[in-house]
Amino acid sequence: QVKEMNDVEFPNSFLVLGKQKALGLQARSQEEMEAWIQACQEAISQNEQKTESFKAAASIPVQEIQQLTYEKAELGKRAPQWIRDKMVSMCMRCKEQFNPFTRRRHHCRACGYVVCWKCSDYKAKLEYDENRLNRVCRDCYSVLQGQLENEEKEDRKKGILEKDSAEVSGRSLMCSFLQLLDKSGKSGTRGWFVIPRDEPLVLYMYAAPQDVKAQTSIPLLGYQVNELPQNDSRHMFQLVQSKLVYTFVAESEEQKKRWVEIINWVANGENALLGEESDEFDD
């Protein structure tokens, strides 16, 4: 943080405040001080942006994902937080994959979801924007128009992979980015992996942390999990069941150990602590 001191004893002075240190500086003139303050502020915001995108690339805390879910009753009353483009690989409404040519990303101005043009080809008046017409997704459109047709749709039976990653990750035993190596072990696919708390025997793989449908799932029962010795600074572990082997690369040694610990725990059926009290001693 940087701010003017406004102290008559020290004219043209300003403060640079850090987490651990504060620095008071005095300039020769008002203009010089203002130039310094501006330069500092620019440097700070540049640095923040850098840290921000670095964080997004490295790992995304679950809390951040959850905050983005919206309240239906608040729809259109205030500007939504836009879900970042890179948090999803598919339209959050129709679940079709995005691509730069025929299916590009758009934002619904009511819920902030990332959706395709087809699913956002609607306009509705939004209170927060002085009731001007804005691009909205089809779900928000029907809610805002007071149509309830999509409630029926939600009732239809969902496929096993049609689980909202943000929702599942928010109450998960473990979730993070991992790389799943292919058979050659040389390349692999980076994905967002989740073990849901209420379904601890399944490992879901999403292309991106806020996708509304998983790419695949691996049932964990019967798998053995092995830590691999640290190899050219890669943090690897394997899921093994007779001839089937999945090799994963974690982002850190600590993250690897947590995955191994949790999978070990659930795959061996020791999930008594997950919900109800265990009554195994109660004959």
Which positions touch Zn ion (CB under 5 A)?
A: 91, 93-94, 108, 110-111, 116, 119, 137, 140
Rank residues 3 and 118 by Cβ distance to Zn ion and give the closer one: 118
Least CB distance to Zn ion at residue 56 (A) = 22
In whole angstroms, give the CA distance from residue 36 to residue 23. 13
Least CB distance to Zn ion at residue 61 (A) = 24
Rank residues 33 and 111 by Cβ distance to Zn ion and give the closer one: 111
Q: Quick one: residue 76, left, alpha or beta (phi over 0 = left, psi -120 to 50 = alpha)?
A: left
In whole angstroms, give the CA distance from residue 211 to residue 245. 26
Rank residues 93 and 163 by Cβ distance to Zn ion and give the closer one: 93
Rank residues 94 and 201 by Cβ distance to Zn ion and give the closer one: 94
Q: Which tokens hold the place of 122?
A: 């609607």
Least CB distance to Zn ion at residue 208 (A) = 15
Least CB distance to Zn ion at residue 122 (A) = 9
Least CB distance to Zn ion at residue 116 (A) = 3
Least CB distance to Zn ion at residue 103 (A) = 8
The answer to whether the CB of 83 falls within 8 A of the CB of 112 is: yes
Please state, as a whole number, how many other Cβ atoms lie within 10 Å of the Cβ of residue 71.
10
Direct distance between the N- and C-terminal alpha carbons of the chain, in angstroms, rounded to an integer: 63
Rank residues 32 and 129 by Cβ distance to Zn ion and give the closer one: 129
CA 78 to chain centre: 22
Rank residues 116 and 203 by Cβ distance to Zn ion and give the closer one: 116
Please state, as a whole number, how many other Cβ atoms lie within 10 Å of the Cβ of residue 183.
8
**Helix, strand, coil percentages for the chain (3-state, nearest 5):** 30, 30, 40
In whole angstroms, give the CA distance from residue 122 to residue 191. 32
